[in-house]
Each structure stands twice: as C-alpha cells, then as structure tokens.
Structure 1
Amino acid sequence: MWDEAVTGYDFGPSHPMDPVRLALTMGLVRAFGLDREMEVRAARPAGESTLRLVHREDYVAAVRAVSADPGAADGSYGLGTVDDPAFPGMHEASALIAGQSVAGAEAVWRGEAGHAVNFAGGLHHAMPGGAAGFCVYNDASLAIARLLELGAERVAYVDVDVHHGDGVQAAFWDDPRVLTISLHEHPRTLFPQTGWPEETGGPAAEGSAVNVALPAGTGDEGWLRAFHATVPELLADLRPQVLVTQHGADTHFEDPLAHLAVSLDAQRAVQEACHELAHSCADGRWLALGGGGYAVVDVVPRSWTHLVAIAAHRPVDPHTPVPASWRDEVYARTRQLAPGRMTDGRMTDGRSPSWRDWDAGYDPADRTDQAVLATRRAVFPLRGMLT
C-alpha cells in the first residue's frame, strides 16, 4: 500500500517523526525492484464511517477543525502538543494512512492478496478519543475493526515496536475476538508507561492482552528469545484467521528515542518469523505495518525494505550492498551518507542472530527471562496454557 501523499503526515522540521523515512523506504523498495514483484496499490482515505469504527465522533471533528486551522489547536484531544503538533491537512494525511491499512486488511480478508504491507501505518498510540505519541488515527485498530466488521472471529495483533501498543490494546481490551501481543521496553523507562505483564484484558476477555516488558539495554539474543518464548505458542493456541503485525524500527541500537539494543538483523529475523507464523497459524493472511523509528536514514528504510521483500516472497540477502542509486537519493534528500549494506553485521554463520530457546531452561538471574516468565505466568493460565 503506497501513496506519495502519506509523506504529508508531517509534524514539522524539528519533530523526530520525519516523513523522509517513508520516502526513503519507498525509494529503497524501488531500487531493489520490489515494486515489480508485487502489486503497489493506493487506497482512498478512511471515511467518516470507517474512522468511527474506533474513534469518537467528537474527536474526529476536532482533528478536522485543527487540520483546517492549526492555530486553533490548544492541546485538547492531544492535538497541538509537543508530541502531536497540529499541521495543515492533518486530518487528510492521517485518514489516508488509515485508509491504506484498512484497504490492506480488506484485500487480505477477501483473498485478493496473501499479504499486504503499509509501512506508513502502525500508528498504535492513538486512542478512541485522542491523539498520542505522534499518532492521530490508529490505523492498526481501524484495520482490525474492519476485519471484525467483515466477519473475522479471531484476529491476532503482534506489536514489536519499542513502545507499548497501548492504543490497540485499549481498543480491544474487552473483546475476546482480538489477541493483542506487545513486546516493548519496560514502562518504567519509556513512554507510554503502560504495558505491564499484569495487563491481561478486560472482564469479558481475560487473557486477550499480552505484554512482554523488556529491560532497557536488551539486545538481539534477549529480544529474540522473548519473542519466541511467547508469540508462537500464543498464535498456535488462537489459530487466528488474520495476523496483523506492527514493526516499529525503534528497537534498534541507533534509535535516539529509546533504550533497547536490537540490530537490523534481529528485526529482519522477527519479520521472517511473523511471515512464517502467518502461514502456519493464519492461513497465510498477513497485514504488516510500520510504526516508530527515528534513525530515519540508517535504520528505518533498510528495516522496512526487508519487511516488504519478505512479504513479496523475494527476501533480500542481508549481505547485499545498498544500491548506489539509493545512496545518491539519500544524500540528495538529507545530505547524509547512507549505509552500505542491508545488514548491521550481526549475522551468525550467515544466519540471523541466535537466541536460546525457552525450552533450553530458565535463568532466574537473567532479567529478560524474568520478564518473559512474568508474562507467561500472567497470561498463559488465563488461556488454559502451561507456563
């Protein structure tokens, strides 16, 4: 899903969420010829009825108002804040990104595509009645809500952004049809200060929210261990009809806004795992979204190009040099030097970074293992699963 106009989602030159990351990602996708290996489709902006699947009428009206007159934003509804400053066309750009995710979900559900990617999406902090954390409309929640409207009875959402997927969790807190899984930096040290393992879903949906809160400094081995110690078992238990994943690239060790130490190679390994899980657990139906990521040259374009390539069944070898044409584009747009290869050099014997399987044993002194065990103890019994 791509429309050049998504780069209009622009909070201004001093804001960390620089839309150049989207343009550079699409440039790298094209440089590898991946746009010729899959259908590139644009969708209409999400309309009022679609936005109302998740967002309150008064909030949508407020976004429209500050979109037409940014100077009127006063912080109400989270609009006009440092995180979410108002800008002209805010409603239109936000609705367009949401429309891309909803259309991707529809295409996957209807069998028009096996997989769909909207790397401009993944705006997971927006709440039904307010903007938060650089997010205006919650396209991930809207895509899931549309799947439910179309008849889906079991949807899994896996969020590996460094920040807790709080908006999606909130939207489906009491809905047993939706399983939300979020792996993120511990709320003690990072926005939005939610996503504790004890957050397990509402009274009608206990065990439908899963949170793995990882200690600051967690690197490849711990991050991959946490993913594989929770996500595959939960998806095998649910057998979702559709898998929706959010791939914020801000877990990376170069990201300026967070404190994990994950490499591009580990991010790619999780993307591959999500692809495999879509095929093994969800009949191949997979909607993959972007998310956070503020190392806009060195990390985001490479990470999400790997995501597109995996979804296209045309994976890019991590050792592949970055095309010279794209390096020239990077310099022309940013005056920065582009990375040289599609890897951070963290491959092990030519493979993705390794990790210890959970079955290999629990280390009570390991903080990552403590985090994983806390999650498994909180959620697995609620789902009738062994911890």
Structure 2
Amino acid sequence: MDSRTLWIQTEQSGRYLFSDEHPFHPVRLALTENLLKHGGALDPSAGENPAPFAEAEAIVESIHRADYVATVRSLSAGSPEPSAIAAAERYGLESGGDTPYFPGMHEASVAVAAGSIAAAVAVMSGKAERALHLAGGLHHAFPDRASGFCVYNDAAAAISALRDRFQARVLYVDTDVHHGDGVQWFFYTDPNVFTLSIHETGKFLFPGSGFTHERGDSSGYGACLNLAMEPYTEDDSWLDCFAEAVERAALAFKPDIIVSQHGCDAHAFDPLAHIHCSMRIYREMPRMLRSLADRHAGGKWVALGGGGYDHWRVVPRAWSLLWLEMTGHPLLASIDGAPDGGPLPAGWPDAATMLKPDGPLPTTWLDDVAAWTPMPRRAEISEKNKKMLELALQHIG
C-alpha cells in the first residue's frame, strides 16, 4: 500500500451540520470511515490535521465578499440578531431553504476549507503525492452567497492557495451529478485553472447550468469544459464521455496538479438526481484520475468529497473505493477480480450513527446490474451523450 497518500482528518468538519433531517449529513463520513476500518484500510490516528483556522479563515475571506462573510458570522450565533435573519435570504441562507443557517456555521465552514487547503498544500509542497479530504467538495458556494448546501467554497479556497503560493496550473475535475457551478464561476476568466464538470444536464437538474457553451471568458476562454449528460445515462456512456474528456483536457492544459471533487450522487439509488449509473463508475473514475495525475501532473492529486444522498447504500462504498485507489490498497485486487467486487467486510456497519434504513444494505463492493431493470432508450441516450461530447470538445486542442 502506498504511504504517500494523506488522509485529512474530518473531525472538525463534522460540525458542518444543518440539521439531523437535512440530506447533507456528516453521517456519510462516519459510515465511510467505519467501512474502511473494517477493511483494514484506514488508521485515522495517522491522518493529517487541517490547516490552522486563522490561515484558512484568511483565505476564505480573500475569495468571498466581505458582506457575505459578515452575514455568515452573524447568522452563526446561537440567537442571531433580527437584522442578520432579515438578510439571510439575500445571501442564500434562509431558514427552510436548501442551505439554512445554523449555530457555528462560520466556524464549521472554515474548518471544511481548512481541510481542503491542508490537502492541497501538502501535495503541492511535496509532503505527499496524493491527499483526500472527504468533508470537502462544497462546490456550489459563490463569492457572495450560499447555494446548494454549500456555505464557503473550500475547493476554490484550496485552488486559490495553490495559485497564490505555488503559481500552480490546476486542473479541477468535478464528478458530482450536479454541475460544479461555484468553482467554475470563481475561475471563469483564469487561464491557469481548468474546470471540467461531468453532471446531469441543467435542463432538468439543479443548478440549471453547466452547458457545453460555457467555455470560460476573457483570457480564461477554453479553460472550462462541461459534459451535460442526459437523464438515465448508464455506466458505459458516462465512463466513455469522462475518459475522453479528462484525457483531452490534461493533454491540452498540462496541469501541475489535479484537484477532483467526488460527489457520488450519479448513482441510480440517489434520490436527488436522474442518472442511472452503478458503483462501477466510482471504481473506474478514481482509477482514471490516478493514471491521469501520474502521466500529466507528476502524480500530484488532491481529492475532495461532495454530494451523495443515499447515505448507507452508496456513499460509503464509493468514497472507500476512492481511498483504496489513492493508496493502492491490496483490497483492490479482490474487488477487481469479482464481477460484484466481492463481499464487503464482515461486521460493517457498526458505526455509532443514526438507525439503519429499512431494507437490506449492500453486501458487495459493486452492484449486480444484471438484476436491475434495463433502462429504456439506452441507445438513444448514449447517442445524445456522444453528440454532446463532440460539441463540448470542439474548443479543446
């Protein structure tokens, strides 16, 4: 197993909790860590601490508008002032919305950024070749407002640190089923940050952006690539588009480092989207990214978490597969040698978390897709995705 991969501690980021009923819940982190421990693939005590709070806060303040940060701070109080509550909706933080304010919100959001910054700095400075911060990936946050469960944009903060400290050329790859809009718009005019997002088309899914004509602007034109996939896309079409796009982007852009976001909500079980992929894509995409980093970025790869709302059946397996690939763990040999990936570790889950959902949990690393009902219009969907890819790649050298 490769010891040059860092696990970034998520304890402080675990305070990023809107409510126990909110779909974006840190139980996902606990279940993933529990699965990895049962597989003998994780020693959390050996993990890397996040960046110092003051350092992360300064970077957050440098990329987000001052009035927005001030409002987040005010709404983080146990009993916010009426003036702060009145301003919440303007900044995307209204109670009852997708991203409601909660006590300690500022501190928890900075902690998420601190983990992602630590991962980026460790890899770019040579302390490690790869680093994973699963609590990160809050890719919808904008400079002036919250959006889509995201308060501060930790991915943008990490990329900003890479640009400011190392003048690195950064290839950002977003595999969440929702378009990585916040990160895209942060760097839309920056020729040294290439943003690539594969997602369900915004014609049908939040945030309603990420179309092929979004290619960057000004000196950043050409450093933005969007793959807007059709609803009910399955594994083969998803992976074919992803493989060609990331290879073309890396060849043209020549990055110094890859930063990837690993929302795992393109799975058929996810309740918040319409893509019909299986766990196979979450085995294959990390494999492709590691190869890409080795061949085009000197091995430098930083991975972040993201969305994923089937907390028990999907997220732990997907994120564990990511860590296994990043570390080259021996478990991969048995996973790759069985059609269903082989059995999950005995005894999982036994995490001290909320009650298990009704119905059986997965018993194997991958899904038995032969037992799934075939998607109608498979050929038509795949052909539409192929044509979309051709259009998206027109501006890539």
Amino acid at match of 1:339: P
CA distance in 2, matches of 1:34, 1:53: 37
Equivalent residue, structure 2, for 1:358? none
CA contact (8 A) 1:105 1:287 kept: yes
Amino acid at match of 2:57: E
CA contact (8 A) 2:232 2:381 kept: no
CA distance in 1, matches of 2:56, 2:129: 25
Shifted more, 17-26 versus 253-262: the winner is 17-26
Shifted more, 125-134 versus 59-68: the winner is 59-68
Equivalent residue, structure 1, for 2:364? 341
Go from structure 1 to structure 2 and tell me whether the alpha carbon gap of 1:98 and 1:364 turns closer, same or farther (over 3 Å shift): closer
Equivalent residue, structure 2, for 1:354? none
Secondary structure of 1:68's counterpart equals coil
Equivalent residue, structure 2, for 1:359? none
Secondary structure of 2:343's counterpart equals coil
**How big is the shift at 1:372?**
0.6
Amino acid at match of 2:362: P
Secondary structure of 2:132's counterpart equals strand
- Determine whether 1:375 maps to 2:392: yes
Amino acid at match of 1:333: M
CA contact (8 A) 1:70 1:87 kept: no
CA distance in 2, matches of 1:37, 1:12: 25
Secondary structure of 1:95's counterpart equals helix
In the TM superposition, what are the counterparts of 1:31-180 in structure 2 within 5 Å? 31-36=38-43, 39-43=46-50, 44-45=52-53, 47-69=56-78, 71=80, 72-73=84-85, 74-81=88-95, 82-180=97-195
2:24 to 8, 11, 17: 17
CA contact (8 A) 1:321 1:342 kept: yes
CA distance in 2, matches of 1:186, 1:170: 17
Secondary structure of 2:70's counterpart equals helix
Query: Aligned Cα RMSD in Å?
Result: 2.1
CA contact (8 A) 1:122 1:248 kept: yes
2:347 to 321, 325, 328: 325
CA contact (8 A) 2:168 2:257 kept: no
**How big is the shift at 1:338?**
3.0
**How big is the shift at 1:69?**
4.1
CA contact (8 A) 2:282 2:321 kept: no
**How big is the shift at 1:200?**
0.6
CA contact (8 A) 1:53 1:145 kept: no
Go from structure 1 to structure 2 and tell me whether the alpha carbon gap of 1:195 and 1:324 turns closer, same or farther (over 3 Å shift): same
Equivalent residue, structure 2, for 1:356? none
Go from structure 1 to structure 2 and tell me whether the alpha carbon gap of 1:367 and 1:78 turns closer, same or farther (over 3 Å shift): same
Equivalent residue, structure 1, for 2:375? none
Which blocks of at least 5 consecutive residues in structure 1 are unaligned?
A: 348-362
Percent identical residues: 40
Equivalent residue, structure 2, for 1:221? 236
**How big is the shift at 1:70?**
5.8
CA distance in 2, matches of 1:310, 1:70: 44
CA distance in 1, matches of 2:194, 2:382: 30
Go from structure 1 to structure 2 and tell me whether the alpha carbon gap of 1:47 and 1:70 turns closer, same or farther (over 3 Å shift): farther
TM-score (norm 1): 0.89
CA distance in 1, matches of 2:197, 2:356: 35
CA distance in 1, matches of 2:167, 2:365: 36
CA contact (8 A) 1:159 1:181 kept: yes
Equivalent residue, structure 1, for 2:376? none
CA distance in 2, matches of 1:183, 1:158: 8
CA distance in 2, matches of 1:38, 1:310: 20
Equivalent residue, structure 2, for 1:306? 321
Go from structure 1 to structure 2 and tell me whether the alpha carbon gap of 1:148 and 1:279 turns closer, same or farther (over 3 Å shift): same
**How big is the shift at 1:364?**
11
CA distance in 2, matches of 1:196, 1:57: 30
CA distance in 2, matches of 1:90, 1:212: 32
**How big is the shift at 1:14?**
2.3
TM-score (norm 2): 0.87
Secondary structure of 2:303's counterpart equals strand
- Determine whether 1:28 maps to 2:35: yes
**How big is the shift at 1:3?**
2.9
Secondary structure of 1:297's counterpart equals coil
